[in-house]
Amino acid sequence: MACVSSTSFSMSINGSLYGFFKGKRGLRQGDPMSPYLFTLAMEVLTLILHKQVSLSLEYRFHNKCEKQRIINLFFAYNLFLFARGDHRSSRVVMEALNIFKNMSGLVPSMTKSTAIFGNVADAVKRRILSIMQFEEGKLPVWYLGVPLISTRLHYKDCKRLIDNMDARITDWKNKCLSFAGRVQLIRSVLSSLHVYWASVFILPKRITLELEDRMRRNRSFWDVPVKNNITWSWRKMLGMRPMIRDHVWINVGNGANTRVWFDKWDDVCPISSIVTPRLIANAGFNMNTKLVDVYVNGEWDISLNQSRQDKVVWTSRRGHHSEFSAATAWDDLRVGQDEVNWAKVVWFPQAIPRHSFIMWLIVQKKLKTQDVIRGWNSSDNANFNLMCCSLCTSKPDSHEHLFFECGYASSIWNGVKEKAGMSSIQNKWDSILDFLVGNATSTKATHIIAKLVVSATAYFVWEERNRRLFSTKRSADQLVEVILSTVRLKLHTMKFKTTIHTVRVLQEWALSRGLLITDDDCG
């Protein structure tokens, strides 16, 4: 009882626990003592039921339970009660439940309790339900998701399994999953729905065939309609179909996997662009017809090779057929532009990816600083004018102010720029960027370290700016140490050309001379 009466609960807010309050009764959910407590309590209920039945002359056993004198069964926090279908037996059962309720304080859940009848007149049903006040259930009894029956399953008994799968498919269709999403749905969800049933029963063959049929109903990427409620990413993918279609080519073999109307297997394809679905249906075909199905007695001017499978290849913008690769598709589909002069300042082999991403946003002026956000809602500029930089609290933050110009960021830059070999560079973003662009292609250790230090500084200044909006602060000295430690850790993974200049750089960063190599470039 000490375990039952001493429980307390805390509130988890944003991953942290706050305060506590005492529990009135019962154990916490999932407590390992819970099954034992349930067994102890139900043993008392069993004794009360048998005592009431022995003292009463009105109770009559269910005709299937009379020989074993079974009144109740328990399993996993559930209770089954059995009695003859008359109001006197029901009254005895309810009297026992009320005695147990008054003793223990445990109250039956009326909304979850049902009364199941077999061969009982309607008038008797109504009288029993007035005593028990349970909802009337129907046979067969469902328990843990499966029907409790002693005979083999029939199709009607498994209809709920079919309905469950239909509900899952309908729900996922509304989101218009991609092909990868549909495969994951089939593998992880649909194909496992029947496993629990199959572990208990032998499923009818008709049910198995219907489940497999529903899992195979995947539409082609080329004929999926664009609906209003689909996601933005899926809408964009469907919108690219005219661009992609010209690049996907089928090298026809036996024609078994080539769709006549939607695949591109000839220069005039796709045929669906010139033949309507009504004409296709009038000709006796459907939208999923394969090429092998319409090639009869040489009516089509195309030779099928029965010994070879159809093969999907990628057609480049120059008309060459090749194996598909993401790099080839990207090069053929994207709109190419000349490389900007700052590209190698942001993206270089030794870069730390998350730092490069922030640098890219800074160069593009795409970070959500207050000056950018202010432009989204001009009607509420008064509130934005009251906001100030969370680092120096002197003026609103902006791309020009936040990085290297605000007092806090300037002190951080002064603490790291000597290590970057940029002592003479002003604390202005344009000056820093001009220096990096001028040495963007250099493989000298100092220039690579300069790019690492600048990108790390920008990343951690932006991180600190956001931290101060929601949590604790770090001093400028602490942030300088974080930046230098991050860059030093990255330098430990690199190799440098053996020169006097490089040896001096390694000494300044307190790095091992084991990082030196004799190659022309550092890596």
Give CA separation, 212 vs 208, 218, 268, in Å: 6, 12, 35
pLDDT for res 185: 66
Whether residue 456 is predicted with pLDDT greater than 90 in this model: the reply is: yes
DSSP helix/strand/coil, 251: strand
Asked if the structure places residue 9 within a domain, the reply is no
| Average pLDDT, integer, range 413-430 | 88
Residue 371 sits in the same domain as residue 441? yes
Asked if the structure places residue 8 within a domain, the reply is no
Residue 410 sits in the same domain as residue 352? yes
Residue 278 sits in the same domain as residue 381? no
Residue 360 sits in the same domain as residue 319? no
Residue 349 sits in the same domain as residue 408? yes
Residue ending a domain, among 139, 163, 186, is 139
Q: Which residue type sits at 337? A: Q
| Average pLDDT, integer, range 38-51 | 88
pTM of model > 0.95: no
Residue 211 sits in the same domain as residue 250? no
Whether residue 437 is predicted with pLDDT greater than 90 in this model: the reply is: yes
Q: Find tokens 């207050």 and name the residue.
A: 370
pLDDT for res 208: 79
pLDDT for res 501: 80
Residue 491 sits in the same domain as residue 380? yes
Residue ending a domain, among 88, 114, 139, is 139
What is the number of other CB atoms lying within 10 angstroms of the CB of residue 171?
Answer: 10
| Average pLDDT, integer, range 56-81 | 84
| Average pLDDT, integer, range 303-311 | 74
Residue 280 sits in the same domain as residue 403? no
Asked if the structure places residue 23 within a domain, the reply is no
- Cβ contact 517:498 at 8 Å: yes
Long-range contacts of 131-136 (CB under 8 A, 24+ apart): 131/87, 131/90, 131/91, 131/94, 132/90, 132/93, 132/94, 134/110, 135/111
Whether residue 497 is predicted with pLDDT greater than 60 in this model: the reply is: yes
Q: Find tokens 């339970």 and name the residue.
A: 65
- Cβ contact 83:59 at 8 Å: yes
pLDDT band at 318; cut points 50, 70, 90: confident
Asked if the structure places residue 325 within a domain, the reply is yes
| Average pLDDT, integer, range 41-66 | 88
| Average pLDDT, integer, range 484-491 | 89
pLDDT band at 219; cut points 50, 70, 90: low
- CA 60-66-71 angle, to 5 degrees, is 70
- The total of structural domains in the chain comes to 4
Mean pLDDT score across all residues of the chain = 80
Asked if the structure places residue 1 within a domain, the reply is no
Higher pLDDT, 494 or 352: 352
> In sequence order, what are the residues at sequence separation of 6 or more whose Cβ sits closer than 8 angstroms to the Cβ of residue 45?
72, 79, 96, 97, 100
* Domain housing 467: 343-517
Higher pLDDT, 178 or 374: 374
**Total length of the chain:** 523
Higher pLDDT, 463 or 399: 463
CA torsion 134-137-141-145 (nearest 10°) is -90
pLDDT for res 520: 47
List the structure tokens of 316.
């480049």
List the structure tokens of 251.
């090298």
Residue 363 sits in the same domain as residue 509? yes
pLDDT for res 343: 92
Q: What is the pLDDT of residues 159-200, one digit of tens each?
A: 777 777 777 766 655 456 555 666 666 666 666 777 777 777
Residue 68 sits in the same domain as residue 122? yes
Residue 422 sits in the same domain as residue 317? no
What secondary structure does DSSP assign to 227-241, as a single string? -TTS-HHHHHHHHTH
Whether residue 354 is predicted with pLDDT greater than 80 in this model: the reply is: yes
Highest mean pLDDT among 168-182, 362-376, 421-435, 461-475: 421-435
List the structure tokens of 177.
């999953």
Residue ending a domain, among 110, 139, 168, is 139
pLDDT for res 184: 65
Asked if the structure places residue 29 within a domain, the reply is no
Higher pLDDT, 60 or 34: 60
Asked if the structure places residue 192 within a domain, the reply is yes
pLDDT for res 301: 44
Residue 324 sits in the same domain as residue 354? no
- Cβ contact 311:275 at 8 Å: no
Task: Tell me the backbone φ, ψ of residue 248, rounded to 5 degrees.
Answer: -95, 115
List the structure tokens of 221.
């990427």
Give CA separation, 46 vs 34, 41, 74, 280, 282, in Å: 18, 9, 10, 71, 71
Asked if the structure places residue 4 within a domain, the reply is no
pLDDT for res 466: 85
